[in-house]
Amino acid sequence: MCGENQRVCVTEPTDCDPPSPSSVQRDLNMWCSYHQSESGDSSMTCGWSLDSESMIFTTWSEPRTVTLYQAVQPPRPSLTPLSEDSLLVSWRSSADGSCRLRHRLNHTHVWTQAPGSVPVSADQNASYVMKGLLPFTVYSAAVSCRTTSGGVWTVWSADASERTRDRAPSSAPEVCYRVEGTHPDGSLLLRLLWKVCRIQRGPGFRVLGYTVRYSPGGLTHNVTGETAVLTVKEHNGSATVAAFNTAGSGPATRVQIDPQGHSVLPAVRHLWISSLRPGDEALRVQWRCPEGLPSAPPLGHYSLTRVKCSIDHVSSDVDPKKPYLVSVFPVYKQQCGPAQSLPASVQRGALVEAAGLKVVSFNKTSVTVMWAWQQKRGPMRVESYRAMLKGDRHTQTRSIWPDQNRLTFSNLTPSTEYSLHLLADDSSTHIVQQKTHFDEKLLVTPVCVLLLLLSLLIVSVLSRTV
SS (H, E, C) 29-94: EEEEEEEECCCCCEEEEEEEECCHHHHHCCEEECCCCCCHHHHECCCCCEEEEEECCEEEEEEECC
Q: How many domains does the chain have?
A: 4
Whether 87 is covered by a domain: the verdict is: yes
Distance CA 295, CA 45 (A): 71
Distance CA 128, CA 120 (A): 11
Distance CA 201, CA 315 (A): 11
Same domain? 187 vs 211: yes
Residue 370: which of 411, 407, 416 has the closest Cα? 407
Residue 363, domain extent: 352-435
Same domain? 335 vs 404: no
Q: What is the CATH number of the domain that holds 45?
A: 2.60.40.10
Same domain? 106 vs 184: no
Whether 442 is covered by a domain: the verdict is: no
The last residue of a domain, from among 165, 198, 215? 165
The last residue of a domain, from among 301, 323, 346? 346
Distance CA 349, CA 383 (A): 8
Among 76-80, 409-413, 418-422, top mean pLDDT goes to 76-80
Residue 321 DSSP SS3: coil
* Cα-based angle 411, 413, 417 (whole degrees, multiple of 5): 120
Whether 465 is covered by a domain: the verdict is: no
Mean predicted confidence (pLDDT) in 122-147: 93
On average, the pLDDT of the chain sits at: 79
Q: Which amino acid is at 171?
A: S
Q: How confident is the model at residue 297 (pLDDT cuts 50, 70, 90)?
A: very low
Residue-wise pLDDT tens digits, 359-368: 999 898 899 9
- Spatial contact of 137 and 163, defined as CB atoms under 8 Å apart: yes
Residue-wise pLDDT tens digits, 194-249: 987 655 555 667 889 999 999 988 899 999 988 999 988 877 889 999 999 999 99
Residue 165: which of 89, 80, 95, 249 has the closest Cα? 80
Residue 442 DSSP SS3: helix
Q: Which amino acid is at 194?
A: W
Whether 60 is covered by a domain: the verdict is: yes
Mean predicted confidence (pLDDT) in 177-190: 86
Same domain? 60 vs 138: yes
Same domain? 158 vs 182: no
Q: What pLDDT score was predicted for residue 283? A: 78
Same domain? 147 vs 8: yes
Same domain? 23 vs 134: yes
Same domain? 161 vs 67: yes
Same domain? 298 vs 280: yes
Whether 444 is covered by a domain: the verdict is: no
Helix (H) or strand (E) holding 173: none
Whether 158 is covered by a domain: the verdict is: yes
Q: What pLDDT score was predicted for residue 214? A: 93
Where is pLDDT greater, at 410 or 346? 410
Same domain? 297 vs 156: no
Whether 110 is covered by a domain: the verdict is: yes
Among 33-47, 205-219, 420-434, top mean pLDDT goes to 205-219
The last residue of a domain, from among 320, 346, 372? 346
Distance CA 121, CA 147 (A): 9
Same domain? 235 vs 313: no
Same domain? 223 vs 300: no
Whether 443 is covered by a domain: the verdict is: no
What pTM was computed for the model?
A: 0.65
